[in-house]
Structure 1
Amino acid sequence: MHALIIRTSILGENSSSNELINHWVSTHNPTQVTERNLAAAPIPHLDGARFAAINAPEPSAEQQPIQALSDTLIAEIEQADAIVIGLPMYNFGVPSQVKSWMDHLARAGRTFKYTPEGPKGLLADKPVTIIATRGGAYAGSPHDHQAPFVKQFLGFIGLTNVHFVYAETLASERRAAVIGDARTAIAAA
């Protein structure tokens, strides 16, 4: 199995999501791992010039490196058999690094297309495990703006086999038990 690992935490070695990703790797033992650390090597935020470059049918010399980055990010997904995304919650949403990654993945005619029935994802589906780490408890509540957004985006590009592992209330005295429960859920997935 070839696993694509997406790390997003700004906390590095002190990150609960990174700790749980490491546990996923050790329990699922992929034969090949491609790792992208969006916190250590952030993808630039979208602006007008970057959007034009990503979507240019014939990119200029100046646009080519920008489109090449988008191509690389898409190829990482296409080449993987499974995807694992560490998703800490920052200020009720996804880390801005995740949004930049998504903005470089969403390409009309490449990862999605519009049809008379609505948008259709063009990427081949594969299992995606989202390791959602949060200081409080939000899963399934009206305050979870993160999981529905990520699931909708991934479905938009064709990835509908999405499974969430939640590690919530990490800011409480239950942290050790929460990490233990998440480790059990990861091993069972």
Structure 2
Amino acid sequence: MSILHITSSANPGVSTSTLLGAEAAAKIGGPVTTRDVTHGLRPIDAAWIAANVTPETDRDPAARALLAQSDALVAELQAHDTLILSTPLYNFGVTAALKNWIDLICRAGQTFRYTDAGPQGLLHGKRAVIIVATGGTPAEGPLDFATPYLRQIMTFIGITDVTCIAADRLMADADRAMEDARARIAAL
């Protein structure tokens, strides 16, 4: 079983979400590819969108170059069995870096397709483990916009086997938060 671990903390050296994601990967077992999305990802812009909506056979070299990084990220996601998304909760949502990665991997015809019944995910048979760390916000509470968003993105691209693990309210009771998260990891 191959694992793709996406990390997105702006403070990776002391990131709880990154640490717990690595622990989840070790528990699941298998080769791990770790991608820190806080460095080197080009945000989408008008030129990228134009290249993306151009049929592949009509793309010129400049359009292909604009999409090369996204193509590589999609291929990386397609090549792994398990996806671990590690993110802190920043201002009630995912990090900007993680949102950027999501924008680059949500590609019509590659990770989802449009049908008469609406979008249909194409990444079947995969598993996702979402690791969220929060300072004071209760995970999956009314102010946690990250966890439901990430669940929705997983469903959107076809990953329906999703487990969410939170180390929440770390500033209030770090020991309890870590104990709870580690117990959930042990149950993977």
TM-score (norm 2): 0.92
Structure 1 runs of 4+ with >6 Å offset: none
Aligned residue number for residue 41 of structure 2:
43
CA distance in 2, matches of 1:71, 1:45: 14
Unaligned runs of 5+ in 2: none
Percent identical across equivalent pairs? 35
Residues matched between the structures, number: 186
Q: Tell me how far apart the structure 1 counterparts of residues 161 and 150 of structure 2 sit (CA, whole Å).
A: 12
1:97 alignment counterpart: 97
CA distance in 2, matches of 1:34, 1:56: 31
Q: Does 2:20 align with 1:20?
A: yes
Deviation at 1:128, TM superposition (A): 0.2
Per-residue deviation, 1:4: 0.5
Could you tell me which runs of 5 or more consecutive residues in structure 1 were left unpaired when the two chains were aligned: none
**1:10-89 alignment to 2 at 5 Å?**
10-30=10-30, 32-39=31-38, 41-57=39-55, 58-89=58-89
- Between the aligned partners of 2:8 and 2:67, the Cα distance in structure 1 is 22
Query: As a proportion of its length, which structure holds more helix?
Result: 2
Equivalent-residue separation in structure 2 for 1:10 and 1:111 (angstroms): 27
User: Do the aligned partners of 2:137 and 2:143 also contact (CA within 8 Å) in 1?
Assistant: no
Per the alignment, residue 179 of structure 1 pairs with: 178
Q: 1:25–1:109: structure 2 CA closer, same or farther, 3 Å change rule? A: closer
- Please state how far the C-alpha of 1:3 moved relative to its aligned partner: 0.4
Query: Normalization by structure 1: what TM-score?
Result: 0.91
Q: What RMSD in Å do the two structures reach over aligned CA positions?
A: 1.5
Indicate if the aligned counterparts of 1:70 and 1:104 stay in contact, CA closer than 8 A. Answer: yes
Residue 54 of structure 1 aligns to a residue in which SS? helix
Alpha-carbon deviations, 1:149-180, whole Å to 9, x = none? 111112111111111001101112x1122112
Residue 110 (structure 1) shift: 2.0
- For residue 28 of structure 1, report the CA deviation from its aligned partner: 2.4
Contact 1:55/1:67 (<8 A) preserved: no
**Aligned AA for 1:69?**
Q
> Distance in 1 between the 2:110 and 2:23 partners?
33
Q: SS where residue 162 of structure 1 aligns? A: strand
